[in-house]
């Protein structure tokens, strides 16, 4: 079975190397170097990574991120490319896939779609299924602030009911798997999706804060 967390990790590193450390990303104000530092800290310093979710620890995490981002970029990229440390659970392929497939896909798109000449990628069928599986697993949490019914639908008519019917209406969000993932993870302006539902319900989805945090 292909480990799409690993293939996407390597593809992300290739893209980061190609566009360079100071290229923009969708995670503004982070450039490529800050995004790479974030990913390395996430894997190698769980004590600092908690700062993404615990307010009092955020300052310490951000200082470490900026320090690492200011260092030698090829060294930083090699640390990211080399994969999860062997002492972490993610060193096991099933854990790596569960934790990192969506993480690296979304952040790869963060780099690709922030460039002026970006075009949508054509994903392999197996990778599409892996992204779809990760999205449907997390969708209820991602859409918890959208108080309407939500259905995700792909051109191949894969459908997932995220939230059941609501008095406020139901919205069908339609798009390719990658675009649905980006929209659902808050990259709304970069995602090519369409909506079906009442204008009021669609407005709720467009304005909702979609994220894990």
pLDDT tens column, 154-197: 998 899 999 988 889 999 999 999 999 999 999 999 999 999 99
pTM of the model: 0.92
Q: What is the pLDDT of residue 84?
A: 83
Q: What is the pLDDT of residue 85?
A: 83
- CA dist 38 and 45 (Å) reads 10
State mean pLDDT over 80-109.
Answer: 91
Domain ranges of the chain: 4-112, 125-207
Helices within the chain (DSSP H only): 4-19, 32-44, 46-49, 58-69, 73-81, 93-112, 125-142, 177-184, 199-207
Q: 212 vs 49, which has greater pLDDT?
A: 212
Architecture per CATH, domain 125-207, reads as: 2-Layer Sandwich (3.30)
Q: pLDDT digits over 97-153, tens only? A: 999 999 999 999 999 999 998 998 999 999 999 999 999 999 999 999 999 999 999
Q: pLDDT digits over 58-68, tens only? A: 777 888 889 99
Q: What is the pLDDT of residue 54?
A: 59
- The label of the residue with tokens 């503004």 reads 28
Distances (CA, A) of 3 to 7, 9, 51, 112, 136: 7, 10, 28, 21, 19
Q: What is the pLDDT of residue 53?
A: 57
* pLDDT band, very low/low/confident/very high, at 90 (cuts 50, 70, 90): confident
């Amino acid at each position: 079975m292909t480990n799409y967390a690993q293939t996407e990790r390597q593809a992300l590193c290739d893209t980061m190397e190609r566009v360079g450390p100071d290229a923009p990303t969708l995670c503004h104000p982070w450039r490529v170097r800050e995004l790479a530092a974030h990913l390395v800290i996430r894997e190698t310093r769980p004590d600092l990574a908690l700062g993404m979710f615990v307010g009092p620890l955020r300052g310490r995490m951000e200082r470490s991120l900026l320090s690492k981002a200011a260092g030698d970029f090829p060294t930083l990229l090699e640390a990211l490319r080399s994969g999860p440390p062997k002492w972490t659970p993610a060193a096991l392929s099933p854990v790596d896939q569960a934790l990192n497939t969506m993480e690296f896909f979304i952040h790869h798109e963060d780099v690709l779609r922030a460039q002026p000449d970006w075009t949508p990628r054509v994903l392999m069928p197996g990778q599409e299924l892996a992204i779809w599986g990760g999205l449907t697993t997390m969708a209820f949490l991602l859409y918890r602030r959208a108080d309407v019914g939500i259905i995700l639908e792909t051109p191949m008519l894969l459908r997932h009911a995220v939230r059941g019917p609501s008095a406020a209406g139901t919205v069908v969000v339609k798009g390719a798997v990658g675009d649905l993932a980006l929209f659902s993870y808050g990259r709304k302006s970069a995602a090519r999706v369409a909506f079906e539902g009442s204008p009021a319900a669609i407005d709720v989805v467009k304005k909702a804060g979609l994220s894990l945090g």
